[in-house]
């Protein structure tokens, strides 16, 4: 940082130079601290919640202190990471599912989702990094009143509101596990003044996941509840990292996602993801973090028809903590609660979610 003013006395010149050196040293110190945090946070760059393609989410993680928000601090070393994301949902009773069917509504639900990730990130140069991620997904506690089994049963014995006698027509599935699609994502930092950093975020999700799981009655489960998607998903946006004070760091992102048509002519709705995170004492071993995470997604399309019971907007409040064992290795966790949730049509609300992870530089 240099003064733009011309100083007329040697005392003022000396004082100004001393102040500038102090500020430069402080800025370099803060930047080094954020870079060290990026090594730990980068291992979870672009962490996706389970079957993000079905529920509109795209990227997760990558800030120097944040757990979910994607920051702009670029990796300086190779990193590997492990992460578990869990989501839990409100569920409908059998009678509610029967009543929906009596109203002509085909509704499916599940009670939980779990996703497990293995990631590998590496710097391409000082302003660009790449992350590769494998995921294993599992949906549990399915019920569907509109698959082929359910439709055939309800055709023979029509659903009647308030009458539980056709509960056996509801199609159950215990779980839908398998490897999910592979994510390849990168960031390019196009601005860095030592205090603030901006980066573009770009990536593709490749259809490598399983799409052949079956219900307990032997039918292929709908694509929205398969571990994979069968689609190619593109995503891109912008990320920011800076700090309010020497002890308070800020990360933020805005990311857009859209997909091609996948398995069974299913295309998940496009989405916007907006996140902001503040981490405190980010150069210490214990780093508390608070985030707002928003996802705003369009309705899905299947067989060229818009699925009215899909889409919606959700905003989460996500407190969490990062713990650094040393300069290379750390663990983190957070808990996300939906403070605003407006889903399209008939959809079971999310109750909460959490994440736990570990990362290390190589």
What does the pLDDT profile of the chain (362 residues) look like in tens digits?
433 333 333 323 333 333 343 344 444 444 444 444 444 444 444 443 333 333 334 455 544 568 999 999 999 999 999 999 999 999 999 999 999 999 999 999 999 999 999 999 999 999 999 999 999 999 999 999 999 999 999 999 999 999 999 999 999 999 999 999 999 999 999 999 999 999 999 999 999 999 999 999 999 998 989 999 999 999 999 999 998 998 999 999 999 999 999 999 999 999 999 999 999 987 789 999 999 999 999 999 998 999 999 999 999 999 999 999 998 999 999 999 999 999 999 999 999 999 999 999 99
Q: How many residues does the chain have?
A: 362
CA atoms within 13 Å, Cβ hemisphere of 49 = 23
Output the pTM of the full model.
0.84
Instruction: Give just the sign of the alpha carbon dihedral 325, 326, 331, 336.
Output: positive
Query: Measured between alpha carbons, how far is 285 from 298 in angstroms, rounded to an integer?
Result: 40
Coil vs helix vs strand at 121: strand
Coil vs helix vs strand at 244: coil
- Which CATH code, of 2.40.160.40, 3.30.70.100, 2.60.40.420, 2.60.40.10, is assigned to 14-361? 2.40.160.40
Alpha-helical (H) ranges within 199-249 are none
Taking the mean position of all CA atoms in its chain, how far away is CA 294? 10
Query: Measured between alpha carbons, how far is 184 from 179 in angstroms, rounded to an integer?
Result: 15
Smallest CA-to-CA distance from 183 within 116, 233, 225 is with 233
The residue behind tokens 């989460």 is 316
- The pair of structure tokens assigned to 243 is 């700090």
Smallest CA-to-CA distance from 100 within 309, 303, 300, 266 is with 309
- Angstrom CA distances, 322 to 153, 174, 204, 278, 289, stand at 51, 34, 28, 12, 8
Rounded (5°) CA angle 125-281-285: 75
Q: CB under 8 Å, gap of 24 or more: what pairs does 157-161 form?
A: 158/102, 159/98, 159/99, 159/101, 159/102, 160/98, 160/102, 161/98, 161/99, 161/102, 161/103
């Amino acid at each position: 940082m240099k003064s733009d003013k011309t100083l007329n006395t040697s005392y003022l010149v000396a004082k100004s130079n001393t102040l500038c050196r102090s500020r430069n040293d402080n800025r370099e110190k803060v930047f080094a601290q954020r870079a060290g945090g990026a090594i730990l946070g980068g291992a979870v760059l672009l962490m996706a919640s389970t079957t993000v393609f079905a529920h509109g989410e795209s990227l997760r993680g990558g800030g120097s202190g944040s757990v979910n928000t994607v920051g702009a601090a670029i990796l300086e070393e190779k990193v590997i990471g492990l992460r578990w994301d869990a989501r839990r949902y409100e569920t409908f009773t059998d009678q509610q599912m029967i009543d929906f069917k009596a109203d002509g509504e085909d509704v499916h639900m599940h009670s939980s989702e779990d996703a497990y990730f293995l990631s590998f990130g590496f710097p391409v140069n000082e302003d660009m990094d790449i992350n590769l991620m494998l995921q294993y997904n599992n949906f549990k506690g399915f019920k569907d009143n509109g698959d082929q089994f359910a439709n055939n049963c309800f055709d023979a014995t029509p659903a009647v509101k308030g009458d539980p006698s056709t509960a056996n027509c509801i199609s159950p599935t215990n779980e839908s596990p398998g490897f999910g699609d592979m994510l390849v994502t990168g960031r390019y930092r196009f601005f860095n003044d030592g205090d603030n950093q901006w980066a573009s975020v770009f990536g593709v999700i490749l259809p490598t996941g399983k799409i052949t799981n079956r219900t307990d009655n032997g039918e292929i489960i709908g694509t929205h509840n398969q571990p994979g998607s069968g689609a190619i998903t593109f995503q891109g946006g912008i990320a920011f990292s800076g700090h309010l004070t020497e002890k308070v760091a800020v990360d933020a992102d805005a990311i857009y996602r859209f997909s091609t048509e996948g398995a069974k002519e299913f295309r998940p709705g496009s989405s916007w993801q907006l996140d902001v995170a503040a981490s405190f004492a980010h150069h210490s071993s214990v780093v508390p973090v608070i985030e707002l995470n928003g996802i705003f997604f369009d309705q899905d399309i299947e067989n060229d028809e818009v699925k009215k019971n899909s889409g919606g907007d959700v905003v989460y409040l996500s407190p969490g903590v990062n713990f650094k064992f040393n300069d290379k290795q750390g663990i983190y966790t957070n808990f996300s609660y939906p403070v605003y949730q407006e889903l399209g049509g008939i959809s079971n609300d999310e109750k909460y979610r959490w994440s736990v992870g570990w990362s290390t530089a190589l």
